[in-house]
Amino acid sequence: MSNAHDALFRALSDPTRRAIFERLCREGEKTVGALTARAGVSQPVVSKHLAVLKTAGLVRDRHEGRQTHYTAEIKALAPLADWTTEMAGFWESRFDALEDLLKRMDQ
């Protein structure tokens, strides 16, 4: 759970990458070329950022001829805005502590 969190935070920690992702959220599917036109960096750099976003589950790609189209996976952000992620970790650790206690308790 925290590894997935780390990947999300890492992916979104870079302003250029965040701008690319926000643009996909706002404007829908885009090709690498279209994204490069307004990113202020070269196409290979945009491709590299997209690869990081893809690894974090934040975008998915679709190949069509020579073009690759990218779409934002908005649902991948849910853990960041969701208290359940935080509490799930808490309860898992409490279950561990409860099991330890049960082993120490008298019948």
Q: In the complex, which residues of this chain contact other proteins (CB under 8 A)? A: 9, 12, 18, 22, 25-26, 74-75, 77-78, 80-84, 87-88, 91-92, 94-95, 97-102, 105, 107
Calculate the alpha carbon distances from 35 to 13, 61, 69, 99, 104 in Å. 19, 13, 10, 52, 59
Taking the complex as a whole, the smallest distance from the CB of residue 87 to other proteins amounts, in Å, to 5
Q: Tell me how far apart the alpha carbons of residues 74 and 52 are, in angstroms, rounded to a whole number.
A: 15
Tell me whether residue 21 or residue 50 sits nearer to other proteins (CB atom).
Answer: 21
Tell me whether residue 63 or residue 97 sits nearer to other proteins (CB atom).
Answer: 97
Nearest in space to 49 (alpha carbons), one of 5, 6, 13: 13
Tell me whether residue 63 or residue 81 sits nearer to other proteins (CB atom).
Answer: 81
Taking the complex as a whole, the smallest distance from the CB of residue 33 to other proteins amounts, in Å, to 24
Strands (E), the chain: 30-31, 59-64, 67-72
